[in-house]
Amino acid sequence: MKKPEAMPPADDNTRGPADPYVERILEAARQLFNESGLEAVSMYSIAKRAGIGQGSLYRRFTDKGEICSALLKGSADQFLSGLEQQVAAAPAEEPALAQLQHSIEQVADFIEQYAELLNMIKSEFTGKKQLTQFEHPFFQRLGGIMSVLLQRAAANGEIIDIDPAFASPALIAVLSPDLYLYEQKRHQSSKLDISRGIVTLFVTGLTAR
C-alpha cells in the first residue's frame, strides 16, 4: 500500500485538557503513519514509539480509528465549519442545487487529501462499534449540511419528487472514502472524474425538468 498523505497537525483540544501522553501518542502515530502507511502500523508500535505502556495507550484510544480521528479533528472541524457557514450565508436567490454541487466538489477535495485517514476512521468505527458510518460525528455533520441543501432544493421545486431525508444519507454513502479509494485503484479515476460522477447522480439526476 502506498504511503498516506502527510498527517495533519494534532489538535491540542481534541480530548479535553492537555494530556502529555496524548500528545506523545499522536506525534508517534503521525510519524509512523508517514513512514509506513496506516495499515502497517499497529497499536503496539505506536505505544513503543511513544515510549509508553500499552495500557496507557488503550486508556486514551481504543483503536487506530480513534487516533486517526484525533489527528484529523482540527482539519475536519475547520472544513465542516466552512461548509456550514457557506450554506448559512448563501443568497436566497442562489439555486440550492448550485450550492449542493459546490459542496460536493469541496467534499471531494477534502476526501482526496485525507482519504486513507477517513477510511481508517470509518472502518474502525463501523467494525468494532457495530455502527454505520452515518452515525460517526463527521458523517453526521456532513449529512446535516447535505440535508439542508436538499430540503431547500425540494422547497424551491428544483428537484424531482424524492424525499430529502432519504436522498441525504444516500449522498453521504456515495461521498465515501472507500468508494473514492476503490475508484482510484480499480479505474484510475481522478478526483475530477469522481466528483463529476457524483454531481451527475445527485445534481443532474435529481434536477426537475
pLDDT tens across 153-190, in order? 999 999 999 999 999 999 999 998 999 999 999 999 99
Close Cβ partners of 132 (under 8 Å, ≥ 6 residues apart): 126
Q: What integer pLDDT is reported at residue 103 of this predicted model?
A: 97
Q: Residue 44: pLDDT above 80?
A: yes
pLDDT tens across 25-36, in order? 999 999 999 999
C-alpha distance from residue 191 to each of 109, 121, 134, 198 (Å):
7, 21, 23, 11
Q: What integer pLDDT is reported at residue 128 of this predicted model?
A: 72
**Percentage of the chain modeled with pLDDT above 70:** 91
Q: What integer pLDDT is reported at residue 14 of this predicted model?
A: 43
What would the mean pLDDT of 187-197 be, rounded to a whole number?
94
DSSP for 114-173, written as a single string: HHHHHHHHHHHHHHHS---GGGSHHHHHHHHHHHHHHHHHHHTT-B-S--HHHHHHHHHH
Domains (ranges, CATH) in the chain? Answer: 73-204 (1.10.357.10)
Q: What integer pLDDT is reported at residue 9 of this predicted model?
A: 58
How far apart CA 67 and CA 73 sit, in angstroms, is 10
pTM value?
A: 0.86
Q: Residue 51: pLDDT above 90?
A: yes
